A and B are shown apart, each in its own frame.
Chain A
Amino acid sequence: MLTLPDLQRSFTDFLLSAPGTGPDPTLCDAIRKRGIPAEQRLAIYKNNVYTQLVGALRDSYPAVHRLVGDEFFRFAATEYVLTHPPRSPRLLGYGDNFPGFLEGFEPAGPVPYLSDVARLEQLYLESYHAAEATPLAKGAFAKCIFEGAARASLRLHPSARLMTSPFPVSRIWELNVQSSAIRGRTQIPGGAEYLLIVRPRATVEVRRISRGAYAALAAIGQGLAVAEALAAGADVDPGIDLGIHLLSLADGETFCSCEENQ
């Protein structure tokens, strides 16, 4: 007779083992023999676990799924389940390491932008579920940034995420989450992208921003004062008026507070 902890340990080992791996004989012996053999009864649970986890990844990464097709996605997702057994009861966050996994997943090598598309989808989900906050009004922002408040600090909206990629990742993503089918070859303007992902209200927005704005927002995200953030932006992108650029982002409700520093 197995104790409850021993039974659940043995059951867990079986459920998380590679597909096709059978259960331990002691686990089989614990199961009542009637009709369908114990191995096949246990296999139903294992199939449920894999179906659930692979399905959760497919739901979180629809563009990746569409880019590689269902068969390859299942193959990759199954490998992910094997190497990243779920540790959190929160299924929503199960795929958080999937972008990193894909980056090192050799069979996905021919699609070099795949892990960046996955990273964008992961940030999209983070933004989707992030805490609510009232966006900073444009007037309050303009006052903060133009009226000598150079030492003020801005706080990014809790749903704001930044990412950069050497690939046109947001354009690839857009094409692959739109419902209309892509026919034949599609031309995508090449080049690196700097992205702001933010959900000021009910809808997540993916915005392409300038390299300078990206650097300034990253500095703001690290808690630097406005003047320092603008300088950081100007360093990488001296050609643009960052004040105006950030104002247009504030118009898009990217920030949620502006505090005067003493």
Chain B
Amino acid sequence: MARLDGIERRTSSGFGPMSAAVGIGLKPAHYHALLADRPPLDFLEVHTENYMGAGGPPHRYLTELAERYALSFHGVSLSLGGADPLCRSRLTRWRELVDRYEPALVSEHVAWSSHGGYTLHDLLPIPYTEESLRTLCEHIEQMQNVLGRHVLIENPARYLEFNDSTMAEAEFLVEATARTGCRLLLDLNNVFVSTCNQGEDAGRYLAGIPGHLVEQIHLAGHAINTVDDDQIRIDDHGSPVSDPVWQLYSDTLARIGPRPTLIEWDTDVPDIGVLLGEAECAREIAGAAPARDSTRRIHAHAS
């Protein structure tokens, strides 16, 4: 479908969509360390919602950091999967921030978080139906049109599935890219958490995702809770990336080549050194992976 008309495909700000760039989620606790030590990272990712204030220290630091690192703007509350219309003032503010900081990457979730005037501040699951797909695609197109560029959509961590779903998640995501021209932010921790929580196989899930649709990867840690005799994995971003998720990362890169990769850590945020160590692990794995699309690969560099 000719949905890409007028939507610019951006490869600015230092790295391309198929590069081995590595970044970490930006936390206020790390502002000073990043500015003082300039660690070798290719990009920083922010939750766009945290920069919606008019001014103050968040913007001062982000402005300084943007001079040294490429940025990724990651939304957590647009509610693309919500049945309600998207909030227009919210989208306008997004546009202002994208114009101001010119992030290399822009993403949101395949989830809903608002309904009936309430905002739940969580990434809630949608059934994978034609009705959901139509709603999601309408909202992705609206977001892309307002921002004037294509966006990435992220697979959510899920703790339940709906009986009404007629598609597997991978199939649903791929169909959304075909209808809107958006691309995928593949969160491998979420793939692992969601498939484990349904007794499914992560490798089988990933086989359904064509590599050329993936333009970013997220890695994070998760917790394991036990309910009676059953385990459930909780995507809490509060620990190092687990071994099975590193394995998925390694396997995925062996199949599709390196991709811009982010280490997320949002709960009990540790010293920046811990995140840099995780980023270094990702860089080693990415360095060992073959570049599958060398014509489009631009070598990433920090600052």
Interface, chain A (partner B; CB < 8 A): 1-5, 7-9, 11-12, 15-16, 29-32, 34-36, 38, 40-42, 44-45, 48-49, 52-53, 56, 85-92, 94, 127-132, 158-159, 199, 202-203
Contact = CB atoms under 8 A, between A and B. Distances in A.
Interface stretch (B3-11, B17-25, B160-168): B160-168
A128 B57 contact: yes
A97 to B, nearest CB: 15
B120 interface: yes
B119 A89 contact: yes
Interface of B: 49-50, 52-60, 77-79, 82-84, 87, 90, 112-122, 124, 126-127, 129, 131-132, 135, 159-165, 198-199, 227-228, 230, 232, 234
Contacts of B228: 36
Contacts of A89: 49, 77-79, 87, 90, 113-114, 119
A201 to B, nearest CB: 9
B160 A38 contact: yes
Given A30-B164, A41-B159, A89-B113, A48 B56 contact: no
A4 B118 contact: no
Nearest to A11: B124
Contact of A12 (B53, B57, B118, B234): B118
B170 to A, nearest CB: 17
B54 A158 contact: yes
Given A36-B227, A53-B121, A44 B82 contact: no
A52 B122 contact: yes
Contacts of A12: 115-116, 118, 120
A130 B55 contact: yes
A87 to B, nearest CB: 6
Nearest to A56: B121
Given A44-B234, A130-B54, A32 B163 contact: yes
